[in-house]
């Protein structure tokens, strides 16, 4: 017999419906709780502003940005007409 597959026997069909109904109610309550939790949470600031504000050494951050920009530029194909 496949696990989880139940063959209803007289009287068991109602039990299965009750179990499913209980589980559905539990899931509906969990969804409601999550939605309520999200709705009551204050709207957060812009994530980028939070990130930038979390950088304690701004000079090192700017340097890292410059390295990243240089790396991306070095990966671009060279235009033959620019000689």
Q: Where are the domains positioned within the chain? A: 11-43, 44-76
pLDDT at site 35? 92
Structure tokens at 19: 């179990």
Phi-psi sector, 8: left (phi>0), alpha (psi -120 to 50), beta: beta
* N-terminal to C-terminal alpha carbon distance within the chain: 75
pLDDT at site 54? 66
Structure tokens at 5: 């597959």
**What's the whole-number mean pLDDT along residues 5-26?**
75
pLDDT at 11 over 70: no
Q: Which of the pair, 7 or 21, is modelled with greater confidence?
A: 21
Q: Which of the pair, 57 or 62, is modelled with greater confidence?
A: 62
pTM: 0.38
Calpha distance 59→62 (Å, rounded): 5
pLDDT at site 1? 43
Q: Which of the pair, 8 or 32, is modelled with greater confidence?
A: 32
**Look-up of token digits 């559905």:** 24
Structure tokens at 71: 């790396």
């Amino acid at each position: 017999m496949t696990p989880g597959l139940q063959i209803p026997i007289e009287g068991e069909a109602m039990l299965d419906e009750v179990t499913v109904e209980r589980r559905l109610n539990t899931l509906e309550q969990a969804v409601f709780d999550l939605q309520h939790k999200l709705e009551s949470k204050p709207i957060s600031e812009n994530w980028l502003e939070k990130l930038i504000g979390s950088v304690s050494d701004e000079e090192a951050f700017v340097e890292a940005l410059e390295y990243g920009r240089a790396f991306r530029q070095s990966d671009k194909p060279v235009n033959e007409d620019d000689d």
